[in-house]
Amino acid sequence: MRANTITKKSFLAGNRYWIMLVAALLFLPPFSFLFQFTGDSSFCGSWCPRMFFVWRKGMTGYEYLFGFLRSYLGVILVLGMLGSTFFFGRYWCSHLCPIGGIMEGGSRMLSKGMKIDYSGIPAPAFRYGYLAVYLIASATGIGSLCCSYCNFATIPRILGAAFSPADMLYFFRAAGLINLGLVIFLGFIARGGRAYCNLLCPVGAIDAITNRLGMRFGKRISIDSEKCNACAACVKVCPTWSIEVKGNKAMIDQFSCMPCRECEKVCAKEAIRYGGPAC
Protein backbone atom coordinates (compact mmCIF):
# COMPACT_ATOMS: atom_id res chain seq x y z
CA MET A 1 0.00 0.00 0.00
CA ARG A 2 1.53 3.30 -1.05
CA ALA A 3 0.61 6.35 0.95
CA ASN A 4 2.87 8.86 -0.76
CA THR A 5 4.22 9.99 -4.10
CA ILE A 6 7.94 9.50 -3.46
CA THR A 7 7.79 5.75 -3.75
CA LYS A 8 5.96 5.76 -7.04
CA LYS A 9 8.92 7.39 -8.71
CA SER A 10 11.46 4.86 -7.53
CA PHE A 11 12.00 1.69 -9.51
CA LEU A 12 13.87 0.01 -6.64
CA ALA A 13 11.19 0.84 -4.11
CA GLY A 14 8.27 -0.08 -6.29
CA ASN A 15 9.63 -3.32 -7.73
CA ARG A 16 11.44 -4.87 -4.80
CA TYR A 17 9.50 -8.11 -4.82
CA TRP A 18 10.08 -8.62 -8.53
CA ILE A 19 13.78 -7.99 -8.05
CA MET A 20 13.83 -10.49 -5.18
CA LEU A 21 12.13 -13.03 -7.40
CA VAL A 22 14.68 -12.56 -10.18
CA ALA A 23 17.51 -12.92 -7.64
CA ALA A 24 15.95 -16.15 -6.40
CA LEU A 25 15.81 -17.51 -9.93
CA LEU A 26 19.45 -16.59 -10.50
CA PHE A 27 20.74 -18.25 -7.36
CA LEU A 28 18.27 -20.90 -6.26
CA PRO A 29 16.79 -24.17 -7.51
CA PRO A 30 15.26 -25.29 -9.72
CA PHE A 31 17.23 -23.14 -12.20
CA SER A 32 20.26 -21.86 -10.25
CA PHE A 33 21.36 -19.97 -13.36
CA LEU A 34 24.53 -18.44 -11.93
CA PHE A 35 25.77 -21.71 -10.47
CA GLN A 36 25.23 -23.51 -13.75
CA PHE A 37 27.48 -20.97 -15.47
CA THR A 38 30.32 -21.65 -13.07
CA GLY A 39 29.87 -25.40 -12.75
CA ASP A 40 28.70 -25.25 -9.14
CA SER A 41 25.53 -26.65 -7.69
CA SER A 42 24.99 -24.27 -4.77
CA PHE A 43 26.61 -21.58 -2.64
CA CYS A 44 28.91 -24.26 -1.17
CA GLY A 45 32.34 -24.10 -2.81
CA SER A 46 33.50 -21.27 -4.99
CA TRP A 47 30.43 -19.15 -4.26
CA CYS A 48 30.58 -19.49 -0.47
CA PRO A 49 30.31 -15.98 1.01
CA ARG A 50 30.58 -16.97 4.66
CA MET A 51 33.71 -18.93 5.23
CA PHE A 52 36.68 -17.41 3.41
CA PHE A 53 37.22 -14.60 5.93
CA VAL A 54 37.26 -16.95 8.93
CA TRP A 55 40.67 -17.79 10.32
CA ARG A 56 40.85 -21.35 11.62
CA LYS A 57 43.29 -22.44 14.26
CA GLY A 58 46.44 -23.95 12.83
CA MET A 59 46.04 -22.22 9.50
CA THR A 60 49.04 -20.77 7.75
CA GLY A 61 48.80 -17.45 5.95
CA TYR A 62 49.01 -19.32 2.67
CA GLU A 63 46.07 -21.53 3.63
CA TYR A 64 44.06 -18.49 4.65
CA LEU A 65 44.67 -16.83 1.30
CA PHE A 66 43.95 -20.09 -0.50
CA GLY A 67 40.49 -19.97 1.08
CA PHE A 68 39.92 -16.68 -0.75
CA LEU A 69 40.94 -18.34 -4.01
CA ARG A 70 38.77 -21.39 -3.41
CA SER A 71 35.72 -19.19 -2.79
CA TYR A 72 36.71 -16.53 -5.30
CA LEU A 73 33.14 -15.91 -6.47
CA GLY A 74 31.97 -15.58 -2.88
CA VAL A 75 34.80 -13.08 -2.30
CA ILE A 76 33.71 -11.05 -5.33
CA LEU A 77 30.12 -11.20 -4.13
CA VAL A 78 30.95 -9.99 -0.63
CA LEU A 79 33.33 -7.24 -1.80
CA GLY A 80 30.75 -6.02 -4.30
CA MET A 81 28.12 -6.11 -1.60
CA LEU A 82 30.24 -4.14 0.88
CA GLY A 83 31.22 -1.56 -1.75
CA SER A 84 27.63 -0.98 -2.81
CA THR A 85 26.48 -0.88 0.80
CA PHE A 86 29.00 1.78 1.72
CA PHE A 87 27.68 4.15 -0.92
CA PHE A 88 24.07 3.10 -1.48
CA GLY A 89 22.97 1.17 1.61
CA ARG A 90 22.26 -2.52 2.02
CA TYR A 91 20.61 -3.21 -1.30
CA TRP A 92 22.14 -6.68 -1.37
CA CYS A 93 20.26 -7.60 1.78
CA SER A 94 17.01 -5.85 0.92
CA HIS A 95 16.68 -6.64 -2.78
CA LEU A 96 19.20 -9.19 -3.99
CA CYS A 97 19.99 -11.73 -1.30
CA PRO A 98 18.02 -14.81 -2.33
CA ILE A 99 18.27 -16.26 1.15
CA GLY A 100 16.71 -13.33 2.96
CA GLY A 101 14.34 -12.77 0.06
CA ILE A 102 12.88 -16.26 0.24
CA MET A 103 12.42 -16.04 4.00
CA GLU A 104 10.75 -12.63 3.76
CA GLY A 105 8.63 -13.69 0.79
CA GLY A 106 7.60 -16.87 2.59
CA SER A 107 6.75 -14.92 5.71
CA ARG A 108 4.53 -12.55 3.76
CA MET A 109 2.46 -15.46 2.53
CA LEU A 110 1.54 -16.46 6.07
CA SER A 111 -1.15 -14.82 8.15
CA LYS A 112 -0.16 -12.44 10.94
CA GLY A 113 -1.55 -14.76 13.58
CA MET A 114 1.04 -17.41 12.72
CA LYS A 115 4.03 -15.16 13.17
CA ILE A 116 6.40 -14.62 16.04
CA ASP A 117 7.45 -11.07 16.85
CA TYR A 118 11.15 -10.87 17.72
CA SER A 119 11.31 -7.10 17.69
CA GLY A 120 11.87 -7.00 21.45
CA ILE A 121 15.38 -8.34 20.90
CA PRO A 122 18.04 -5.64 20.48
CA ALA A 123 19.25 -7.04 17.16
CA PRO A 124 22.73 -5.45 16.91
CA ALA A 125 23.72 -6.67 20.38
CA PHE A 126 22.64 -10.22 19.61
CA ARG A 127 24.06 -10.16 16.09
CA TYR A 128 27.53 -9.08 17.14
CA GLY A 129 27.59 -11.56 19.99
CA TYR A 130 26.97 -14.21 17.37
CA LEU A 131 29.53 -12.74 14.96
CA ALA A 132 32.16 -12.58 17.71
CA VAL A 133 31.78 -16.29 18.38
CA TYR A 134 31.60 -17.01 14.65
CA LEU A 135 35.06 -15.49 14.22
CA ILE A 136 36.72 -16.32 17.53
CA ALA A 137 35.57 -19.93 17.95
CA SER A 138 37.26 -20.95 14.71
CA ALA A 139 40.41 -18.92 15.37
CA THR A 140 40.85 -20.46 18.81
CA GLY A 141 39.94 -23.95 17.68
CA ILE A 142 37.05 -24.44 20.09
CA GLY A 143 34.55 -25.07 17.33
CA SER A 144 32.90 -23.67 14.26
CA LEU A 145 29.61 -22.14 13.23
CA CYS A 146 30.58 -21.83 9.58
CA CYS A 147 29.02 -24.81 7.85
CA SER A 148 27.01 -26.45 10.62
CA TYR A 149 24.58 -23.54 10.78
CA CYS A 150 24.41 -22.02 7.33
CA ASN A 151 21.51 -20.09 5.88
CA PHE A 152 23.17 -20.12 2.45
CA ALA A 153 23.15 -23.92 2.51
CA THR A 154 19.69 -24.43 3.95
CA ILE A 155 17.40 -22.23 1.85
CA PRO A 156 18.56 -23.56 -1.55
CA ARG A 157 18.03 -27.09 -0.32
CA ILE A 158 14.52 -26.37 0.88
CA LEU A 159 13.67 -25.34 -2.66
CA GLY A 160 15.65 -28.18 -4.23
CA ALA A 161 14.38 -30.92 -1.95
CA ALA A 162 11.23 -31.47 -3.98
CA PHE A 163 13.31 -32.24 -7.06
CA SER A 164 16.65 -33.64 -5.93
CA PRO A 165 17.43 -36.51 -3.52
CA ALA A 166 20.77 -34.87 -2.75
CA ASP A 167 19.01 -31.73 -1.54
CA MET A 168 16.44 -33.75 0.36
CA LEU A 169 19.23 -35.62 2.17
CA TYR A 170 20.43 -32.38 3.69
CA PHE A 171 17.46 -32.60 6.08
CA PHE A 172 17.98 -36.26 6.99
CA ARG A 173 20.61 -35.25 9.52
CA ALA A 174 20.46 -33.62 12.92
CA ALA A 175 22.27 -30.52 11.62
CA GLY A 176 19.90 -30.26 8.66
CA LEU A 177 16.87 -30.40 10.93
CA ILE A 178 18.30 -27.74 13.23
CA ASN A 179 18.97 -25.49 10.25
CA LEU A 180 15.47 -26.10 8.95
CA GLY A 181 14.07 -25.15 12.36
CA LEU A 182 16.13 -21.97 12.42
CA VAL A 183 14.97 -20.76 9.01
CA ILE A 184 11.36 -21.64 9.81
CA PHE A 185 11.26 -19.97 13.22
CA LEU A 186 13.54 -17.03 12.45
CA GLY A 187 12.51 -16.66 8.82
CA PHE A 188 9.21 -17.94 7.55
CA ILE A 189 7.19 -17.49 10.72
CA ALA A 190 9.00 -14.42 12.01
CA ARG A 191 7.26 -11.08 11.71
CA GLY A 192 8.88 -9.42 8.70
CA GLY A 193 10.67 -12.64 7.80
CA ARG A 194 14.09 -11.20 8.56
CA ALA A 195 14.90 -12.33 12.08
CA TYR A 196 17.50 -14.80 10.80
CA CYS A 197 19.11 -12.05 8.69
CA ASN A 198 19.00 -9.69 11.62
CA LEU A 199 20.39 -12.03 14.25
CA LEU A 200 22.36 -14.91 12.75
CA CYS A 201 23.69 -13.99 9.33
CA PRO A 202 27.44 -13.27 9.53
CA VAL A 203 27.47 -11.73 6.05
CA GLY A 204 24.59 -9.45 7.02
CA ALA A 205 26.39 -8.53 10.24
CA ILE A 206 29.49 -7.37 8.37
CA ASP A 207 27.29 -5.60 5.84
CA ALA A 208 25.49 -3.78 8.65
CA ILE A 209 28.81 -2.48 10.02
CA THR A 210 29.66 -1.17 6.56
CA ASN A 211 26.23 0.44 6.37
CA ARG A 212 26.86 2.28 9.63
CA LEU A 213 30.41 3.30 8.65
CA GLY A 214 29.30 4.70 5.32
CA MET A 215 26.25 6.61 6.51
CA ARG A 216 28.06 9.95 6.37
CA PHE A 217 29.14 9.39 2.80
CA GLY A 218 26.48 7.35 1.07
CA LYS A 219 22.76 7.23 0.55
CA ARG A 220 20.58 5.92 3.34
CA ILE A 221 17.02 5.88 4.54
CA SER A 222 16.45 8.86 6.80
CA ILE A 223 13.54 10.47 8.60
CA ASP A 224 12.74 14.16 8.46
CA SER A 225 11.98 14.90 12.10
CA GLU A 226 10.11 18.06 11.15
CA LYS A 227 7.57 16.10 9.14
CA CYS A 228 7.36 13.01 11.35
CA ASN A 229 4.25 12.85 13.52
CA ALA A 230 5.29 9.65 15.31
CA CYS A 231 2.35 7.64 13.97
CA ALA A 232 4.58 4.52 14.06
CA ALA A 233 3.24 3.17 10.77
CA CYS A 234 6.87 2.70 9.69
CA VAL A 235 7.69 0.77 12.86
CA LYS A 236 4.99 -1.77 12.08
CA VAL A 237 6.21 -2.54 8.56
CA CYS A 238 9.97 -2.55 9.16
CA PRO A 239 11.17 -6.15 8.61
CA THR A 240 14.41 -5.56 10.49
CA TRP A 241 12.75 -3.73 13.42
CA SER A 242 15.26 -0.91 13.00
CA ILE A 243 12.84 1.97 13.58
CA GLU A 244 11.63 3.08 16.95
CA VAL A 245 9.68 6.07 18.15
CA LYS A 246 11.50 8.11 20.76
CA GLY A 247 10.27 11.42 22.12
CA ASN A 248 7.47 11.65 19.56
CA LYS A 249 9.86 11.15 16.64
CA ALA A 250 10.75 8.04 14.73
CA MET A 251 14.45 7.14 14.55
CA ILE A 252 16.32 4.69 12.35
CA ASP A 253 19.13 2.47 13.54
CA GLN A 254 21.59 2.28 10.66
CA PHE A 255 23.12 -0.83 12.22
CA SER A 256 20.03 -2.75 11.17
CA CYS A 257 18.34 -0.74 8.43
CA MET A 258 18.28 -1.99 4.89
CA PRO A 259 16.70 0.11 2.13
CA CYS A 260 13.68 -2.09 1.58
CA ARG A 261 11.77 1.18 1.73
CA GLU A 262 8.68 -0.37 3.20
CA CYS A 263 8.64 2.47 5.72
CA GLU A 264 8.83 5.04 2.95
CA LYS A 265 5.82 3.49 1.26
CA VAL A 266 3.58 3.78 4.30
CA CYS A 267 4.65 7.20 5.52
CA ALA A 268 1.63 9.43 4.91
CA LYS A 269 3.64 12.52 5.86
CA GLU A 270 6.40 11.74 3.35
CA ALA A 271 8.86 12.15 6.17
CA ILE A 272 10.96 9.16 5.17
CA ARG A 273 13.21 9.35 2.19
CA TYR A 274 16.09 7.52 0.63
CA GLY A 275 18.94 9.87 -0.06
CA GLY A 276 22.15 10.93 1.38
CA PRO A 277 24.07 11.37 3.33
CA ALA A 278 22.15 10.45 6.47
CA CYS A 279 23.72 11.95 9.58
Partner 1 sequence: MVRKILFFSIAVCISLAGATYRWTDSAHSIGIIKASGGMARHPSILESGSSLYTLIATATVIPPYRGDARITLEGGPEMDYTIHSSDPVIDLGIRRHPRLKENVLYDLRPKDRIALWVVMKPPAHDLAFTKACCDGIKQEPAKYSGRENTGGRYTLAFYDTKTNRAVLSVPLIFTGRGETDNACEHHH
- Provide the 10 A C-beta neighbour count for residue 9: 8
- For the segment 224-253, give every residue that binds partner 1 (CB under 8 A): none
Span interacting with partner 1, options 49-57, 85-93, 108-116, 122-130, rule CB under 8 A: 122-130
CB of 102 to partner 1, least distance (A): 15
How far is it, in rounded angstroms, from Cα 23 to Cα 17?
Answer: 10
From the list 229, 268, 273, 227, the residue with the least C-alpha distance to 252 is 273
SS3 string of 48-67?
A: CCCCCCCCCCCCCHHHHHHH
> Which is it for the CA torsion 196, 201, 205, 211, positive or negative?
negative
3-class secondary structure, 273: strand
Tell me if 25 contacts partner 1 by CB under 8 A: no
Nearer to partner 1, 91 or 134 (CB): 134
Tell me if 32 contacts partner 1 by CB under 8 A: yes
CB of 134 to partner 1, least distance (A): 7
Tell me if 64 contacts partner 1 by CB under 8 A: no
CB of 105 to partner 1, least distance (A): 19
From the list 211, 201, 189, the residue with the least C-alpha distance to 256 is 211
Residue partners of 3: CB distance under 8 A and separation at least 6: 233, 265, 266, 267, 268
Tell me if 44 contacts partner 1 by CB under 8 A: yes
Tell me if 72 contacts partner 1 by CB under 8 A: no
CB of 55 to partner 1, least distance (A): 14
CB of 11 to partner 1, least distance (A): 28
Contact 232, 241 (CB under 8 A): no
Mask for 147-186, x = binds partner 1 (CB under 8 A):
xxx----------x--xxxxx-xx-xxxxx-x--------
Nearer to partner 1, 87 or 128 (CB): 128
142, 181, 232, 268: which one contacts partner 1 (CB under 8 A)?
Answer: 142
From the list 269, 266, 149, 138, the residue with the least C-alpha distance to 199 is 149
Tell me if 133 contacts partner 1 by CB under 8 A: yes
Establish whether the linkage from the previous residue to 30 is cis, with ω within 30° of 0: yes
CB of 30 to partner 1, least distance (A): 4
Nearer to partner 1, 88 or 134 (CB): 134
The alpha helices in the chain, defined as continuous H runs, are 6-9, 11-14, 16-27, 33-38, 61-70, 72-88, 91, 98-108, 123-140, 151-160, 165-169, 174-183, 195-200, 202-213, 233-237, 262-266
Tell me if 196 contacts partner 1 by CB under 8 A: no
17, 33, 68, 217: which one contacts partner 1 (CB under 8 A)?
Answer: 33
CB of 254 to partner 1, least distance (A): 16
Binding site for partner 1 (CB under 8 A): 29-33, 35-42, 44-46, 121-122, 124-130, 132-134, 137-138, 142-145, 147-149, 160, 163-167, 169-170, 172-176, 178, 199
